[in-house]
Amino acid sequence: MIVPGWMRWTRRSLTAAGATLALAAGLLVGTASTSQAAAQGPCDIYAAGGTPCVAAHSTTRALYAAYNGSLYQVKRSSDSAVLNIGVLSAGGYANAAAQDSFCAGTSCVITVVYDQSGKGNNLTQAPGGGEAGGPDTLANAYAAPITVGGHEAYGVYVAAGTGYRDDSTSGIATGDAAEGIYAVFDGTHYNGGCCFDYGNAETSNNNTGNGHMEAVYFGNIKVWGYGTGNGPWVMADLENGLYSGVNAGYNAGNPTVSSRFLTAVVKGGPNQWAIRSGNAQSGSLSTSYSGARPAGYNPMHKEGAILLGIGGDNSKGSAGTFYEGVMTSGYPSDATENAVQANITAAGYSTSTAAAGTLTPGSRISLRATTACCTSDYVRHDDSDSQVVISAISSASTATDKADATWIVRAGLANSSCLSFESANDPGQYLRHSNFQLYLVGTDNSTLFAQDATFCPQTGHNGQGYSFQSVNYTTKYLRHYNYTVYLASDGGSNAWDSATSWSDDSSWLVAQPWG
Ligand code: AHR
Ligand code: AHR
C-alpha cells in the first residue's frame, strides 16, 4: 500500500515499540448447557405472597415453573415470516437455537414479547404518542446475547427509537390500586434520553398528568430526579417526573448502580411506594426509598397500559436492554421481592462465556493488521468522526485509544453464521460499510444496515488470521488502505481496490482486546 508521509505520521503518532499480544482465534465455540428449570419461577413466588403476576415478560426464561408456552416472537427480513420462540422445557430457558436457525442468512427483529401470566398482556410495537410519532422500531433479535443457566439467550435491546407497548390490558392496576414491578436490565446499557421504562403508563400514549404512570426507569437522565454519583440510577417514572425518592431532583438515598445485570424494583399503593435494586447475579436487594408519595402524586391515576423502552408520551430517546420483568396485582412485601431476587440470582445470568480474543460471539477482540508496514496497527474509531482507521496501539496508549480499538464480536446482524463488530465503548454502534468505506454507526434496524454490518470470516488471504467477506458484496473484504478501512475487492474501480498489497491489507489477526 502507498502511504503519504504526513498521513503515516498522524496515524502512527502514538506508536510505541514492542507491544505484542497473544493472538488467539477460534470460531463459534459452543456453550455448555447445565442448569435445570427452577422448581419455582418469580411469578410462583409472587402468587405465594398474595400478589400474583398480571403481566410476565421475558425473552430469556419462563417466569412460572409450569410455563411451557411462547416467550417471544421474531420476524425475519428475508420473507417477513414470524416464529414464536418457546422454552427448552416447562419452566425452563429460551430456545435460542430456534431463533438462530430461523434467522440464519437473514436478520430478525423481536415483534412480540408474550405475557406468561395468562392475562394476554403481550408487548408489541409501540404506536406514536404525544411526544414522538410512531410506530417505534423493533429490537434487533441478536443485539443482546447472553447466557442464562448456561444457555444462550437474547435480551430485548432498546436503541433510541425502539419501543413496545400494550394499551389494552387486563388485570393491570388502575387508579390508586397497588402494584409491584421488577425488571432485569443490562446495567451497562443506558443513556440520558427519556425514558427507558418498564411498567404502567397511559392508554392514550399521551402525557395525561402527574400520577398517570408508575414504571421502573433505568438510566442517567437528570432532567427530573437523580441520586448520588454520576448515575445510572433506578428511579420511578410517575409522569412529569422520574423520582429517585420523595423529592423532585436529588435524593441522597438513591445510589449509582453499576452491576452488569441489574434487578430494578418499583412498587406503589395508596400513598406508599418504594424503589429497590440489586445485582441480578448475586446478593440481595437494597431499598433506595420506601415511604409516602411525592407532592402532587397522591392519589395516583394509573391507567394500566404497559410500556417497555419509552416514556408515557412515547418519548423515545432512551436506550437499555431488558431480559425479564413482571407486574403484579397488590403491593408485594419486601420478603416476597427478596425471594424473587434469590430466584433471579439462581437463574444464572451471565455474559457470553466466549473467550476474549476469539471470534466467538460475545467475546472482546482487537483486530491487528498484518501488512509489514502496520503490524502494530489495529482497527479503531475515535470521537472526531465516524470513520474507521488503523493506528498503532500499545500498552502505552491511552485508555480511550485502547477502547477505541476494541470490538465486541456479535452474531452477524444479517446472518447469524457470520459476524458483526460492535464498538466496546460506543454500545449499539457497529462497523458498517457505506459507499465501500467503513464507519462506526448506530443501527437503524434496517435490512441494509444489518447487511452492511455483517462479515463472514475466512482464512486470511495471506495465510495469516482472517479475511472478512462482506455479506452483501461477496467479492469484497475488510481492507486497510492509506490507514483507512474500506470494503475492497482484489482489483477494481476504487483506489482502495488496488491489487498491490491486497492480500496482506485484507488479512487480520484476531488479538486479545486492548480495552
Ligand atoms: O415522567 C417522565 C416523562 O415525562 C414521561 O415518561 C413522559 O410521558 C413525559 O414526557
Ligand atoms: O458500501 C456499499 C453500499 O453503499 C452499502 O451497501 C450501502 O449502504 C451504500 O449505498
pLDDT band at residue 246 using 50, 70 and 90 as cut-offs:
very high
Among the ranges given (37-41, 195-199, 246-250), the one the predictor scored with the smallest mean pLDDT? 37-41
**Contact in structure between 307 and 197 (CB atoms under 8 Å):** yes
Mean pLDDT of the chain: 90
| Pocket residue to mutate for ligand 2, from 439, 447, 448, most atoms within 8 A of Cβ | 448
Overall average pLDDT of the 60-73 stretch: 97
Quick check: helix, strand or coil at residue 322? strand
Would residue 334 show up in a list of annotated catalytic residues for this protein? no
Instruction: Decide whether any atom of ligand 2 lies within 6 Å of the 157 Cβ.
Output: no
Q: What is the residue-wise DSSP string for 423-473?
A: ESSSTTEEEEEETTEEEEEE----HHHHHHT-EEEEE-TTSSSEEEEESSS
Query: How remote is the CA of residue 165 from the centroid of ligand 2, in Å?
Result: 33
Say what the pLDDT of residue 9 is: 28
Which residue's C-alpha cell is 460475545? 362
Closest listed ligand to the CA of 208: 1
Q: Does 296 score more than 70 pLDDT?
A: yes
Q: Does 502 score more than 90 pLDDT?
A: yes
Q: State pLDDT tens for residues 445-491.
A: 789 999 999 999 999 999 999 999 999 999 999 999 999 999 999 99
Question: pTM (2 decimals)?
Answer: 0.68
Quick check: helix, strand or coil at residue 123? strand
Q: Does 36 score more than 50 pLDDT?
A: no
Would residue 303 show up in a list of annotated catalytic residues for this protein? no
Q: How many CB atoms lie within 10 A of CB 335?
A: 10
pLDDT band at residue 12 using 50, 70 and 90 as cut-offs:
very low
pLDDT band at residue 146 using 50, 70 and 90 as cut-offs:
very high
Closest listed ligand to the CA of 205: 1
Q: Does 412 score more than 70 pLDDT?
A: yes
Answer whether the bond into residue 332 is a cis peptide, omega within 30°. Answer: no
Active-site residue (options: 239, 303, 401, 422): 239
For residue 385, what are the contacts with CB-CB under 8 A and spacing of at least 6?
A: none
Length of the chain: 515
Instruction: Decide whether any atom of ligand 2 lies within 6 Å of the 212 Cβ.
Output: no
Q: Could you give the CA distance from residue 358 to residue 366 in angstroms, rounded to a whole number?
A: 9
| Pocket residue to mutate for ligand 2, from 107, 386, 443, 452, most atoms within 8 A of Cβ | 452
Closest CA to 314 of 223, 206, 203: 206
Q: State pLDDT tens for residues 176-188.
A: 999 999 999 999 9
**Contact in structure between 158 and 318 (CB atoms under 8 Å):** yes
pLDDT band at residue 352 using 50, 70 and 90 as cut-offs:
low
Say what the pLDDT of residue 26 is: 29
